[in-house]
Amino acid sequence: MNFFDKLHNNISQNQSLLFVGLDPNPEMMPAFYQSEDVITGLWNWLQFIISETSDFVCAYKPTLGFYEALGVPGLELLHKILAVVPKYIPIILDAKHSDLNTSTIFARTVFTEWQIDAITLSPYTGQDHVAPFLVYPDKAVFILCCTSNLGAKTLQHYPSNESPLYLQVVKESKNWGTPEQLGLEVGTTNPDILGFIRATAPERIIMVRSIWEEENNFSQILKVGLNSNGDGLLIPVPQDMLASPKLSEEIQSLRSQINHVRNEVISDGSTCSVWLPDVCLLNQHPQHDLILQLYDIGCIMFGNFVQASGAVFPYYIDLRKIISNPQIFNQVLSAYEEILINLRFDRLAGIPYGSLPTATGLALRLHCPMIFPRKEVKAHGTRKLIEGNFCPGETVVVIDDILISGKSVMEGAEKLKSAGLNVNDIVVLIDHEQGVQDRLIENGYQGHAVFTISEITNTLYLSGRINEEQFLAFSER
Ligand SMILES: O=c1ccn([C@@H]2O[C@H](COP(=O)(O)O)[C@@H](O)[C@H]2O)c(=O)[nH]1
């Protein structure tokens, strides 16, 4: 089971967003455990914490630095602790690892040998550093975006409060991994900061830190950080509570207070005016979320746009942007894949230039060879009309982005046919409708589309993304 599912199972099973730090910090160890040698005392204390809290938390978070500071016995203690945490509770190792040259080997050790579920990472070495951790599909990372440390302010708020670096970290790291694999770590006592981060990353899990430093902000912090389902936050159990002999009672009381705020957020959300259009899930398009995401990243634009044919449409679709957003690109590939698995073909062919990345992604996913017809034939070199290897007589499925008149995709298909290949099926993401499918059939092709332009506009309108005027501009075309 992957980290995300394991976490969500625990959140619903234990009805808790709380996580507990399993930190062998001798300075915080209660007096009761101090008569023994330090490692034994810490081991007994941490075991007590686990037994008192395992029914009331969604995750545990050991901090690597505390174990390392105890030397070899500390690392042995870490392994003992990892072994006694119930297997169904995910473990997030707080390592804030950031070294590029050790990331591959460190990821392997932590995820395969130590069987840790997730790890915290610092963002400054960029995606190159995070990628080795993301090659483990069942594991996750939390990117440190913001800390409450006063000394960090000059960096985090650089260059200005309107456009602070910490928000840039959030925006950039969203491109590194899916919401299931990449969450954010945010230390703050300021509800505004958490609110900005939540608005920038509505889909991410945020592990909050330091929120207990100003306890009177508690409810406000939760309200801005929780998503509309009343989750999306991982909340730490205050450190001093872990030294209490009544830990189990205290953590249950804290859980109730948090769940009270969660319920308020859920009921506020259910009476909000934008809820109504979304409420009928029965009519929701299967690719509803993908449509909204394509709109949100600017692939679907409104206005009067002149098409290659000279016609003016009330929209323009620019699917070339997808490649800059790996998470959405992945979903787009899955949507094509659902259609392709029902077709018979020997090779995939992308139509240049817009559909070459998609065809390449699909070729890798489906382990299927790819070719492409050139847009223009070079006057030098091989002068090939078609790039890639093929055998005449093979069947090729053509991949394109959008069908408007069908002209460009049919031109590509004709080039493939002139080289002795069979082309029956054309698969696109968007069908503009207005008779283009019939035109394909008249020319001997079967068109398949993930969604039509009316499905897109209906979804955008029902979700409140476009207004009535924009919606009607489509229906009246
Ligand atoms: O909104 C649009 C409209 C067109 N394109 C580009 O045009 C072709 C499809 O046009 P046909 O008339 O079917 O030849 C498509 O491949 C795009 O490259 C677009 O991107 N967005």
DSSP state of 351: P
Residue type present at position 206: I
Residue 216 has pLDDT above 80, yes or no: no
pLDDT at 270: 55
**Quick check: 278 pLDDT over 50?**
no
CA of 451 to the centre of ligand 1 (A): 15
Query: In this predicted model, what pLDDT tens digit does every residue of 115-160 receive, in sequence order?
Result: 999 999 999 999 999 999 998 989 999 999 999 999 999 999 999 9
CA-based diameter of the chain, in Å?
88
Reported CATH class of domain 288-475: alpha beta
**Per-residue confidence (pLDDT) for residue 477, from 0 to 100:** 63
Q: Specify the fold of 3-268.
A: TIM Barrel (3.20.20)
Tokens of 11: 């959140």
Q: Cα-flanking dihedrals φ and ψ of residue 314, to 5°?
A: -80, 10
The answer to whether residue 273 scores a pLDDT higher than 50 is: no
CA–centroid distance, residue 403 to ligand 1 (Å): 6
CB 238 near ligand 1, within 6 Å: no
pLDDT per residue as tens digits for the range 353-364 = 999 999 999 999
Whole-model pTM? 0.59
- pLDDT band at residue 277 using 50, 70 and 90 as cut-offs: very low
Helix 38-53 vs helix 247-270: crossing angle, to nearest 10: 40
Residues carrying an active site annotation: 96
Domain spans of the chain? Answer: 3-268, 288-475
Per-residue pLDDT at 164 exceeds 70: yes
User: What ipTM does this complex have?
Assistant: 0.94
Q: What percent of the chain has pLDDT over 90?
A: 75
With residues binned 3-state (H G I as helix, E B as strand, rest as coil), the percentages for the chain, rounded to 5, are 50, 20, 35
Q: Which residues of 37-57 are buried (b: 16+ CB within 10 A; e: fewer)?
A: ebbebbbebbebbbebbbbbb
pLDDT of residue 274: 43
Task: List 19's β-bridge partners, or say none.
Answer: 59, 236
Q: What pLDDT is stored for residue 438 in this prediction?
A: 97
CA 407 to chain centre: 36
CA 327 to chain centroid: 6
At 266 the pLDDT is 82
**What is the average pLDDT across 460-469?**
86
Q: How far is the centre of ligand 1, averaged over its atoms, from the C-alpha of 440 (Å)?
A: 15
Burial 236-272 (b: 16+ CB within 10 A, else e): bbbeebbeeeebbebbeebbeebeebbeebeeeeeee
Q: C-alpha distances in angstroms, 71 versus 39, 64, 74, 76, 456?
A: 11, 11, 5, 9, 58
Residue-by-residue DSSP string for 353-396:
TTTHHHHHHHHHHHT--EEEE-SS--SSTT--SEES---TT-EE
> Cβ contacts of residue 35 below 8 Å, gap of 6+?
41
The type of residue at 432 is H
Cβ partners under 8 Å of residue 103, min gap 6:
97, 125, 128, 129, 130, 132, 133
What would the mean pLDDT of 63-77 be, rounded to a whole number?
98
Of 355, 402, 432, the residue with max ligand 1 atoms within 8 A of its CB, to mutate for a pocket test, comes to 402
Common-topology check for domains 3-268 and 288-475: no
Question: What pLDDT score does 269 carry?
Answer: 64
The mean pLDDT of the chain is 92
The angle at the Cα of 464, spanning 462 to 467, to the nearest 5 degrees, equals 100
Encode pLDDT of 404-422 as tens digits: 999 999 999 999 999 999 9
- 388 CB within 6 A, ligand 1: no
Give the integer Cα–Cα distance in Å for 356 and 400: 8
DSSP label at residue 202: T
Residue 55 — very low, low, confident or very high, per pLDDT cuts 50/70/90? very high
Instruction: Kindly report the length of the chain.
Output: 477
- pLDDT the model gives residue 137: 86
pLDDT for residue 276 is more than 70: no
DSSP 229-254: TS-SEEEEPPGGGGG-TTHHHHHHHH
Range among 162-166, 312-316, 421-425, 472-476 rated most confident:
421-425
List the one residue out of 185, 205, 196, 222 whose CA is nearest residue 93: 185
Query: Using a 6 Å cutoff on CB, does residue 403 contact ligand 1?
Result: yes
> For residue 164, is it left (φ>0), alpha (ψ between -120 and 50) or beta?
beta
pLDDT at 262: 93
Residue 223 DSSP code: H
Q: Which residue of 302, 319, 401, 477 sits with most ligand 1 atoms within 8 Å of its CB, as the best mutation to test the pocket?
A: 401
Q: Is 400 in the pocket of ligand 1 (CB under 6 A)?
A: yes
- Quote the strand ranges of 122-161, DSSP E: 140-146
Identify the three-state secondary structure at position 47: helix
pLDDT of amino acid 305: 85
* pLDDT digits 0-9 by tens, 367-400: 999 999 998 877 777 778 999 999 999 999 999 9
Q: What is the pLDDT of residue 279?
A: 43
Verify whether ligand 1 is closer than 6 Å to residue 352 (CB atom).
no
